Every structure is written in C-alpha cells, then in structure tokens.
Structure 1
C-alpha cells in the first residue's frame, strides 16, 4: 500500500482544506521531543499544581527529534503531491511552540485567523506580516501532534472549506494582500463553516492549505497538549493563472475558491 495520498485524499484536501496523516512519525520520536520541551518549561511535569498558565510559548526548535518528525520520506513525497517537486523548502525548525495546559483561565489567543507568509513594513511585528492570493512564502500550514490530543485537550479548530472563502477574499487584494490583522478582522464576514477538531495520537500530522481558517481553544482535559504548527515554506509564489503546466492541489484549491459564487 502506497504511503502517498490517494486521489480521494487529494480531492479532500482541495475542497475541505486539509488531510490527516496518522502515524506520521513514531512514539519514540514524539517522546524524545517531549523530553526536550518539558526540560525548557518553567513547571514540573509531575506536579499539575505548577501548571498555572493556560499557554506557554517556547522558542524555535531545531533539535533532531523535531527535524526528523517533519522530514520523513512519506511527508516529502506528499509535499511533492500537494505542492510540486522543487517548489518547497524542507523544514529545519518547528517554529515557536505553544504548549497548552488544563485551565479554567481563558487563553488570549483563541481568535480565528489565517497564518501569514511574508513580512510587511516591520518584519519584527507578527501582526503586520501579510498574506496574498498567491500565498507568497507559505506552501502549507502543518499541525504536528507530539502528545495525544482528544476533544478535551484544546485541539485546534479547523474551519472546513474556509480556505476557499479566503482565496476569494484575497483575490481582490492584489499582490500586497492583507496583513495578518486585516485578514483576521474580515473572517467574521465569511460563510459559516463546519468545525473539525485536530485530534489524534502523538505522531499525527494535519497538512492544511495555507489559507485554512483555524483557531485555538481552552484546554478542558488533564494532560498538557504539545503541538507544533510550522509552515512549509515556498521557494516562490504559487501559480494560479496563465500557467502552461498542471496546477498543484494547493493551486487548484485557490482557483476553485476564486471561482466559487
């Protein structure tokens, strides 16, 4: 049985905006990553009374378990399927790491959003980073589970099919697109979409269209949630019109979104 995506799975990605990959990396890799993360946290793994914040953000991680988890032959083959060969940049970091703890305190980062792909006037200001209809800089959003995540464990909320609405919205904004905050402020005007929870065992990976709307939520479970959400970077902008070559699934999704009534 092939490790690559089936035609049905590719169609699901195009029209729903994501595909779920179970057992993308081993429990041993996940456990090695957790050891590193717990060592950097200002709380005690064995003492829940020390878990006083709803979310703690850790820095960039380039350690071997993290790099290995997102550079398997299977993932590379699927990146080629979704984006095209030689069009993406292998990940050398899983980015910043939001660790979510069980808490009755409301986290301050639960708003709907689309992750940005290229800097604005101030590269150091995350909220001024931008998104354009060709998804400059960003090929995919990846949700990578290093711990088991149930519906109670603050799974990321995916708004199924919302990438099509965002594509249509961005098609009116030119090459400069919209800033992270400008786009976030327009999302409440888009059609309501089905909510899907990004749950799964450690080693599960969700590959998401770069325009997919998603949000965090409070943690109502008992064990901290460890999930990375790095981008897969593009070597250049996507091609969504006037191309003599076949469009990739990421590009087809944008074209479908622009054309939807």
Structure 2
C-alpha cells in the first residue's frame, strides 16, 4: 500500500537471492520471547538458575501453539516479509512453531551438528534418511529460524553456508520432481558447498532469519553460558513453487533457483 515502508528493502531481497537468507531484527517483541521461553523452560524439566540440572547438550521440544508462539510467528512485519519473498497468497500461516532444539552449554557432542538441508516430503517413510527434497521444493517455501533467547557466537548459533542454495539447486535439478533423498544428498557430506563462507545466525531475542529452502546449514556445540532457545519451522507453500511462469511473476525464492540454473 502507498506510504507503507516495506519490511524488506530491495537490497535485502537481493541479499536473500544471492546469499540464501535475510535477517530481520525485532521481528517479534522481546516480551513474547520471554513468555514463550518460560513455557519452554518448564517443559525441559531443567531449572533456569541451576546449571547442575542442565545435563544434556540438547533437548528437543515440539509443536508449540500457545498464544505467545502464535503471536511471534504472525507479526505484521513477518507477514509482509513472507509476501515479499514467497508471494502474496502463496504461503500458509503458521499456527505452531515446529521443533525447538534447546541447546545447553556442554562439552559433549550434541550428535546432530552435521551439514544438511531440510528435506520436505516423503515424511511418511519411517526412515528419515529417505525423506526427500526436489527442485521445486515440494512442501517447503522457506526455512525460518526464530530466536527466543539472545544468541551470541558462543551460544550454538546455527551455521549457514552463504550461497549454498545455488549449489543445492544445481545438484537437485537433474533429479526433477522425484528429487533426492537425504541419504543421497548426504553421501558426500554436502561437499559441493564446502567452499562457501560461513555465517552465524546470531541476534537478540525477537530476531528471525528467513532462509531459502535449499540453504545448507548445521547446528554446533554450545560453548557459552546461557541455554539457546530457537524454533526452526518451515513455511508451508499454499501453491507449488514454479520455475516457469507465463506471467513472469517469480518470487525471490524462485528467482534464486532460476539464477542457479542460468534460467535468467
């Protein structure tokens, strides 16, 4: 609408296309993060002010739809940014915030810190290594990282390979709509993107990273002092991504794939 400043500038949209992600500061209020974190702490079975109760490097909590979580996922600035990156009417509103891998300071290997992309279909298969992703990112429009605590460089921020979505698009393209399984993609340890520089998903509580669905990323051990609370939900598409549109109305998500494949 005229007179309304867009959530993302043209430079930020171009950054998303070329780097595979964009960071939105103050995407939701810190007060909502505090409310949500109190709920999560209770479900960890740990005591916030007693590190002796933090006995595991990671505790996974799942599918929170309480009011502060729903409110955090559906702020006006986020909705506008999603329209800008995926397209108005092309994504589904979130009612929950998916999985929370709560990471605690620990010398132990968390056991889940390998490089990967988030696979998005064939979830009915009992072996998650057979879950799949394809060139049109069936079942996923974006990967989103919601920070519910302050996350510094020592607080197990998600590692991101900048521009790795281009490498993945080129790897997936020959497989067409059938796509590839996580087992196939992980066979070389995601070596195709190993040359990429890394970024860390740091920020204050209330920060959200909107990531291309093909972005290669990884967890890491927590070397800081305060547990990290982050949600990593997918954004579900309301319609399939398309790499050939008669009206040429490509979203930045689609444009990034098209650039990777030299379609534009």
Establish whether TM, by shorter chain, passes 0.5.
yes
Q: How far 1:74 moved relative to its partner?
A: 1.0
Give the alignment partner of residue 42 of structure 2, picking from 29, 39, 44: 39
Mapped to 2, the partners of 1:246 and 1:13 lie a distance apart of 17
Give ranges in structure 2 of 5+ residues lacking alignment: none
Q: Does 1:160 align with 2:189?
A: no
Find the counterpart in structure 2 of residue 241 from structure 1: 244
Q: How far 1:191 moved relative to its partner?
A: 4.8
Mapped to 2, the partners of 1:81 and 1:204 lie a distance apart of 18
Cα separation, partners in 2 of 1:202 and 1:172, compared to 1, 3 Å: same
Q: How far 1:235 moved relative to its partner?
A: 1.7
Contact 2:114/2:218 (CA < 8 Å) preserved in 1? yes
Give the alignment partner of residue 148 of structure 2, picking from 138, 146, 149: 146
Mapped to 2, the partners of 1:243 and 1:17 lie a distance apart of 25
Q: How far 1:203 moved relative to its partner?
A: 0.2
Mapped to 2, the partners of 1:115 and 1:146 lie a distance apart of 21
Contact 1:158/1:197 (CA < 8 Å) preserved in 2? yes
Q: How far 1:185 moved relative to its partner?
A: 2.5
SS in 2 for 1:98: strand
Mapped to 1, the partners of 2:229 and 2:245 lie a distance apart of 42
Mapped to 1, the partners of 2:241 and 2:167 lie a distance apart of 18
Q: Does 1:106 align with 2:109?
A: yes
Find the counterpart in structure 1 of residue 27 from structure 2: 24
Q: How do residues 179-258 of structure 1 correspond to structure 2 at under 5 angstroms?
A: 179-186=181-188, 187-258=190-261
Find the counterpart in structure 2 of residue 55 from structure 1: 58
Give ranges in structure 1 of 5+ residues lacking alignment: none
Q: How far 1:246 moved relative to its partner?
A: 1.6
Query: What are the Cα deviations for residues 130-176 of structure 1, in whole angstroms up to 9, with x where unaligned?
Result: 10000111010001000000000000001000001101110011111
Normalised TM-score (structure 1): 0.95
Cα separation, partners in 2 of 1:245 and 1:133, compared to 1, 3 Å: same
Mapped to 2, the partners of 1:50 and 1:182 lie a distance apart of 39
Aligned length: 259
Normalised TM-score (structure 2): 0.94
Q: How far 1:70 moved relative to its partner?
A: 1.0
Mapped to 1, the partners of 2:65 and 2:213 lie a distance apart of 22
SS in 2 for 1:234: coil
Q: How far 1:32 moved relative to its partner?
A: 0.3
Mapped to 2, the partners of 1:190 and 1:158 lie a distance apart of 11
Mapped to 2, the partners of 1:49 and 1:149 lie a distance apart of 21
Give the alignment partner of residue 175 of structure 1, picking from 162, 174, 177: 177
Mapped to 1, the partners of 2:65 and 2:127 lie a distance apart of 23
Mapped to 2, the partners of 1:185 and 1:15 lie a distance apart of 26
Q: Which runs of 4+ in 1 moved over 4 A?
A: none
